[in-house]
Amino acid sequence: MKQELIFLGPPACGKGTQTNKLSEYLGFPHIDTGSLLRAEIAKATPDGIVAKSFIDKGQLVPPELVGKIIGNRLAEEDCAKGYVLDGYPRSLAQAEMLEEINKNVDKEPASFKAIYFDIDTELLIERIINRQSCPKCGEIYNKKFKPSKVENICDKCQVELKTRADDNEEIARARFETYYRETAPLIEFYEKKGVLFKLDANGSIEEVWDRMIKIINQ
């Protein structure tokens, strides 16, 4: 049976690490809105050109356009057996749009799961203010939880790691407030449908992975 997997969780909860790994484990494509938009813009597709016009003005890409791009991606052949969708939906309107997309693209019965990364906010603050990334390959490190072998140097590229200017406590707390305000309705939406699974995202990468696989195999 086709597996449709979406993931909800606040910034720095570990979704990206786990969903990338899960994509390889299941052999399903890993799909995230940001990467899709960047790809459309890089290829200068008609949708990409429109999306770029909004981004260049500092505006959000309209949800209808994002939904269209997501729908086109989920209709591709490599999603026929399942997909790992990270960072979408982010609102009730997008959740309803995703239901319509799935109805249109599903050629066989499908199992849908919304997996919510439930984690302590204070731990996330620690993750964010200690986060580093490689400007060349994009690998994510954390000075406290996942340090590079050589301090401030990428293990893969041997270039100096960078810290985002917005990775500070004040901005992080504001982002969490926004996230929880916008996501609470989504959690309730999927709970009522009986497809929400809460994942304890506290602990090591390996511990969270083991818990997630148990949910996937239910």
Task: Give domain status of residue 41, yes or no.
Answer: no
Q: Domain containing 210 — which CATH number? A: 3.40.50.300
pLDDT score of 58? 78
C-beta separation of 102 from 74 below 8 A? yes
pTM of the model: 0.81
94-132: pLDDT as tens digits: 999 999 999 999 988 899 999 999 998 888 888 889 989
- Of 43, 164, 193, 214, the catalytic one is 164
Active site residue 15: yes
User: Bigger pLDDT: 5 or 36?
Assistant: 5
| 42 part of a folded domain | no
Q: Is residue 176 part of a domain?
A: no
CA separation for the pair 126, 122 (Å, rounded): 7
Catalytically annotated residue among 2, 15, 127, 211: 15
Residue 205 falls inside a structural domain: yes
User: Using 50, 70 and 90 to split pLDDT, how confident is the model at 80?
Assistant: very high
Give me the pLDDT at residue 96, please: 94
Q: What is the DSSP string of 69-136?
A: HHHHHHTSGGGSSEEEEES---SHHHHHHHHHHHHHH-SS-EEEEEEEEE--HHHHHHHHHTEEE-TT
**90 carries an active-site annotation:** yes
Catalytic-role residue among 90, 136, 162, 173: 90
Token pair 């199992």 is found at 111
Residues with Cβ < 8 Å from 144, sequence gap 6 or more? 126, 127, 130
* pLDDT tens column, 7-60: 998 888 888 889 989 999 999 999 988 888 888 999 999 999 999 998 888 787
Strand 110-118 and strand 30-32: the pairing is unpaired
Domain that holds residue 88: 2-29+76-120+183-216
Task: Note if 131 is an active site residue.
Answer: yes
Q: Please tell me the total count of domains within the chain.
A: 1
**Mean pLDDT of the region 198-203:** 93
Specify if 169 maps to a domain.
no
- 217 contacts 48 by C-beta, under 8 angstroms: no
Out of 2, 73, 127, 131, the active site residue is 131
6 domain-assigned = yes
13 located within any domain: yes
* Cβ–Cβ < 8 Å for 71, 101: yes
- pLDDT classification of 192: cutoffs 50, 70, 90: very high
For residue 210, tell me if it sits in a domain: yes
